[in-house]
A and B are shown apart, each in its own frame.
Chain A
């Protein structure tokens, strides 16, 4: 098999874990149902047009990425901020560490950012003695539990309230009830002190608006607003693909993002941040930086066929729709990005042979593409990636599988032999050992094996015609 034994065992364990399955199913079902309600024809008649608009805007922005990124940078500078170009996690972390040294900061508060998860920023900062605190409630729980996020927008959705109470008890040394309200209140009290003590606030960005040099952040807890305004320095770390040309394009994306992600019409907070505090303003940081990460994105951009993977606005709708994600959970994908979107971007960032099994871990049901607000054709990209894996494996011979498919192809172009082979297989299927080897055994591990009919259709048809 293409997968490590360890991964396989973990997946089997996740599928068999009833408590985990219940938690994931109820969390994803809730998000899924709410989304369906708010994009319904009578609620948002222009939904399909919005998706197409969003796709076209993203496509245009990516095809002219160089232009828009430079426009964005010029506008950020004009507002008194600075753009840092980071090829990878090292360069991003170096800048942040340097900034911490220069400003004397030893505590950093963070709001939700998948890009910083992607480059394992917290580990890098903590290694240098910087206390780094996640302030999104779900991310905070995950940080205390020493786990990466389980879901793109609901990082702790696999945990029950009892789990969370236990985590708080253990790591904060406080008694905490099972009610979400008291848990949120406890986190709020603890985090408030961190906000006040932090020298640097790190955020992600949902959109980088080229024509205004602003970053847009959507959130529900207000923690991102605190992270970006309370500390003296604000650093936004984000991917270069987040660019959109014009502020007015937000009219399309904001309508789609919250609806697709949480089924809200709009998130509780939508922040537009452009530059540090200006004279006369009461809020905002003294210094404002945007770290623009490549980390494999330009490699992906060079691939015309699969470039649309970069359209993703990280709403997580494909995870909720995906029956495979819901079975194996968010921790069995090889990178920070889980679910269908993870299955297509991880192989493109890391190379298809780093996890050759990943593109195959899909029934190609298409539920992901159906809900994607920017219309990424995920099943098609999975098929392209499968083809790339096969091409790579063929270089070293291709093994038994290639032989089997060549045999299949040969046989299917020879109808008489196919008919004969079918009958032979029908006899073979009745032999006792047949279901204990190869694919049949894998099938039989979960389901009863269908028995071939005693007479094939073609043979029955011949007789029927003869009788008429």
Chain B
């Protein structure tokens, strides 16, 4: 019985790719869920956490916990941000038993979008239609920390008109890595180029992922290479009809 979900629209989606958030809301509503957006939300704290600034990340995490404390299901269009909350919030409160407990209470209620659809909402066919050949990029944190692998592919397989063509290295990192992308631009850019070679080999006209950060990296590299391939978040594909 569908209930109410609270969207966590990551800062990247909020500011750069709002259409992804809108698409996610639409798909969830279509599946019969009531969707809310808590306007006080901001970020998960991952940029600070991954850069070694735990105290600064902890402040952001506390804010997140305050905002979503009483939400039943929290759904995010990102494996990386979801994993930050479900796998790393604990690390931020080693000496704060109360916050640690809050983080523990929060973690099982936070869902990456595709996992929410396949495991909670238990829908695979959301009535989408998209006449396009696409390839799917496994985002690292979704794949290795949340074990998201088949779900998005099952969802894609139910989209009418869509053909999924796997690339030779779907699981290889796109090279984004947060601040890594600007601390080591040449290495990060090189990784993106390796990935887009593999995307091009499939002949797909779009690359789909469940993380907008990876897509931002790939889109940037695709455009720089003069490629016509576009990037699409899974939510955008599922909202197409």
- Residues of chain A at the chain B interface (Cβ within 8 Å): 1, 11-12, 15-16, 21, 25, 323-324, 327-328, 357, 360-367, 369-370, 383, 386-391, 401-402, 405-406, 408-413, 415, 418, 422, 425-426, 439, 442-443, 445-453, 455-458, 460-462, 464
* Interface residue from A1, A365, A413 paired with B60 (Cβ < 8 Å): A413
CB A236 to nearest CB in B, in angstroms, measures 37
Q: Is B186 a contact partner of A12 (Cβ separation < 8 A)?
A: yes
Q: How far is the CA of A391 from the CA of B176 in the complex (A)?
A: 25
Q: How many A-B residue pairs have CB under 8 A?
A: 196
Q: Is A15 a contact partner of B187 (Cβ separation < 8 A)?
A: yes
Kindly state whether residue B102 has any CB partner on chain A within 8 Å: no
* Surface stretch bound by A, among B9-17, B107-115, B123-131, B155-163: B9-17
Q: Is A457 a contact partner of B63 (Cβ separation < 8 A)?
A: no
Q: Mark B196-223, 1 if CB is under 8 A from A, else 0.
A: 0000000000000000000011011101
Summarize A's interface: helix, strand, loop or mixed.
helix
Question: Known interface pairs A323-B191, A386-B50, A461-B37. Does A408 touch B56 (Cβ–Cβ under 8 Å)?
Answer: yes
Q: How far is the CA of A455 from the CA of B18 in the complex (A)?
A: 8
Identify the interface centre among B19, B60, B144, B190: most chain A CB within 10 Å of its CB. B190
Tally B residues with Cβ within 8 Å of A.
Answer: 67
Q: Is B192 a contact partner of A447 (Cβ separation < 8 A)?
A: yes
Summarize B's interface: helix, strand, loop or mixed.
helix
Q: Is A445 a contact partner of B189 (Cβ separation < 8 A)?
A: yes
Q: Is B221 a contact partner of A323 (Cβ separation < 8 A)?
A: no
CB A348 to nearest CB in B, in angstroms, measures 16
- Residues of chain B at the chain A interface (Cβ within 8 Å): 9, 11, 13-19, 21-22, 25, 37, 39-43, 45, 47-57, 59-60, 62-63, 140-141, 144-145, 171-173, 175-192, 194, 216-217, 219-221, 223-224
Sampled A-B contacts (18; CB under 8 Å): A15-B187, A323-B191, A324-B187, A363-B173, A363-B178, A364-B177, A406-B56, A409-B55, A409-B59, A413-B62, A415-B42, A446-B185, A446-B186, A447-B220, A451-B16, A458-B14, A458-B39, A464-B22
Residues on A with beta carbons closer than 8 Å to the beta carbon of B192: 446-447
CB B23 to nearest CB in A, in angstroms, measures 11
* Interface residue from A367, A386, A448 paired with B51 (Cβ < 8 Å): A386
Residues on B with beta carbons closer than 8 Å to the beta carbon of A364: 50, 140, 177-178, 180
Q: How far is the CA of A445 from the CA of B18 in the complex (A)?
A: 25
Q: How far is the CA of A144 from the CA of B55 in the complex (A)?
A: 50
Kindly list 6 other residue pairs between chains A and B, CB separation below 8 angstroms, not including A415-B40, A445-B185, A446-B224. Answer: A367-B140, A386-B52, A408-B56, A446-B186, A453-B15, A461-B22
Residues on B with beta carbons closer than 8 Å to the beta carbon of A456: 14-15, 18
CB A285 to nearest CB in B, in angstroms, measures 46
Q: Is B15 a contact partner of A422 (Cβ separation < 8 A)?
A: yes
CB B153 to nearest CB in A, in angstroms, measures 19
Q: Please provide the 10 A-B residue pairs with the shortest distance between their CB atoms, ordered closest to farther.
A: A363-B177, A446-B189, A447-B220, A386-B52, A390-B52, A365-B173, A409-B56, A457-B18, A365-B140, A448-B223
Residues on B with beta carbons closer than 8 Å to the beta carbon of A412: 11, 42-43, 45, 59-60, 63
Q: How far is the CA of A328 from the CA of B189 in the complex (A)?
A: 12
Residues on B with beta carbons closer than 8 Å to the beta carbon of A457: 9, 13-15, 18, 21-22, 37
